[in-house]
């Protein structure tokens, strides 16, 4: 199995499909790495699927460091990417300081949401020698302003801004670009003009790769599932069946053992 670095992720453009999945702990990281997934993202989506928050804006640096450390203990050959959480890159100085903390925890690259609006921050991180993954389209950390998750790029001003942001991220040398909930024709256009591989999520089939929240892929978070995800497994249902079977078996043994015991002397 290849050891995937940020440079190798970038160099994969046009050579192969680039699958990516989220991970939040040691066993999931080890399993996905053994399957040869090139990029594993310790995403701030852990806020919803692990920590029980309503959105990603509640996730802290301490949360991210904790889960990156857990994933890094698997010593993956995949490129391990860590999300910069909400309000952790408000200034260039803060961005570099927090990016370094994620790298010290075990991330090989960090992911930030935005384009020109975070230009100074992402340039500062890159100047510090830290690889970055870009993220355009629907930005989950902006959900409080947006109010809902919406397809981006349907209006001309959005199309123009997304193309300009993609070009900007190209100039700062991101190793990959996540494109979330972008109109498919536009995601195809961005993919065609960007030398870094694009990794789509709900943005059609034309990107260089795709990323999913692993819990969505295997059906282990049944209370919510994005419309664009087709679960390949109903893990929660199987786990529920296993727990019911175990409980029933143990209950039967308990009753058998207790009913077979002689009554105490009166």
SS (H, E, C) the chain: CCCCCHHHHHHCCCCCCEEEEECCCHHHHHHHHHCCCCEEEECCCHHHHCCCCCCHHHCCHHHHHHHHHHHHCCCCCCEEEEECCCCCCCCHHHHHHHHHHHHHHCCCEEECCECHHHHHHHHHHHHCCCCEEEEEECCHHHHHHHCCCCCECCCHHHHHHHHHHHHHHHHHCCCEEEEECECHHHHHHHHHHCCCCEEEECCCCCCCEEEECHHHHHCCCCCCCCCCCCCCCCHHHHHHHHHHHHHHHHHHHHHHHHHHCCCCCC
Q: Please tell me which residue in 62, 146, 158, 180 is annotated as part of the active site.
A: 180
Q: Is 93 a catalytic residue?
A: no
- Catalytic residue ranges: 180
């Amino acid at each position: 199995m290849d050891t995937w670095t940020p440079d190798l992720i970038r160099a994969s453009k046009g050579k192969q499909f680039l699958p990516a999945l989220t991970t939040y702990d040691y066993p999931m990281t080890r399993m996905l790495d053994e399957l040869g997934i090139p990029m594993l993202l310790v995403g701030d989506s852990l806020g919803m699927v692990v920590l029980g928050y309503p959105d990603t804006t509640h996730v802290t640096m301490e949360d991210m460091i904790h889960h990156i450390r857990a994933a890094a203990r698997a010593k993956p050959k995949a490129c391990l990417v860590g999300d910069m959480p909400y309000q952790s890159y408000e200034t260039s100085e803060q961005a570099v300081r927090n990016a370094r903390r994620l790298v010290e925890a075990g991330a090989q690259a960090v992911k930030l949401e935005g384009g020109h609006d975070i230009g100074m921050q992402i340039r500062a991180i890159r100047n510090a020698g830290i690889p970055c993954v870009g993220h355009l389209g629907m930005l989950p950390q902006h959900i409080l302003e947006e109010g809902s998750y919406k397809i981006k790029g349907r209006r001309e001003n959005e199309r123009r801004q997304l193309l300009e942001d993609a070009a900007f991220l190209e100039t700062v040398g991101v190793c990959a670009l996540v494109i979330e909930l972008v109109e498919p024709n536009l995601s195809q256009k961005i993919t065609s003009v960007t030398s870094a591989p694009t990794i789509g999520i709900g943005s059609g089939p034309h990107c260089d790769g795709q990323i999913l929240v692993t819990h969505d892929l295997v059906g282990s978070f049944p209370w919510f599932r994005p419309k664009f995800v087709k679960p390949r497994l109903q893990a929660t249902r199987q786990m529920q069946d296993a727990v019911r079977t175990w409980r029933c078996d143990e209950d039967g043994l308990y009753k058998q053992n207790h009913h077979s015991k002689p009554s105490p002397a009166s």
